Structure 1
Amino acid sequence: MRETRWVEKHDAVLTFLDTLSCLPVVLETISESSESRGSNTFSFLHATPSSEFLVSVVVLAEVFGLTLALARKLQAEYLDVLEAMKLVEATLASLIEQRYKSTDTFKKMF
């Protein structure tokens, strides 16, 4: 069984966000292809410009940006538990601060 690689998931979300502007063109090309019959490409093409999807991706990227250092630390080959706990507490404090300042946080994201 393969280990969960959270850093890879962080990188995938951030890469996806960086390439989001190209996604409609790629999905349009795929949906017009004769090989894409029966696929979900058409659904994805129409879901990606929705505000719910875009806000979700941006918020997820923001949260993953805050938790990336923690994910790296927890996946390290050798883990210092006390150092990891300090990082957990610092990450939690950052998330609480983001929630406390939610109006400013969302203004920055938008």
Structure 2
Amino acid sequence: MQAESYTLEFRGVSLGIVTRKDSDFPNLWGSFTPLLADDHPEIRDRIEHYRQYSVDADRLMETAFSQWEASVNENDSEFLDLMECDDWFLVDPSGNKHGILIPIFTQEGLVWRWNPGL
């Protein structure tokens, strides 16, 4: 499979480069390289807070499942606005936007699903 690269966008803000590595329906995954920029600090700070939470949750799921469950039950509601919106996109090199559900940041990169509603 040839690696496909995209720009991860949230509400029109470019957050980083995603390179698809593999998939197992309905999930796709790959590497994530954050873009360092100063524009839209509120959005960038919010997404970075979610990214750190998501990576930590991934680590807990792998090492301490009961702690992962407790963390998710306690903290997921903090990110409902990000989870329940249609503002996540992967933009291909041609500029075409492909809607995705909220990505899951992991220790290895990123996991996503296409948003069938977009």
| Same-fold call, TM cutoff 0.5 | no
Flag the structure with larger Rg. Answer: 1
More helix by share: 1
Normalised to the residue count of structure 2, the TM-score between the two structures is: 0.30
Normalised to the residue count of structure 1, the TM-score between the two structures is: 0.32
More strand by share: 2
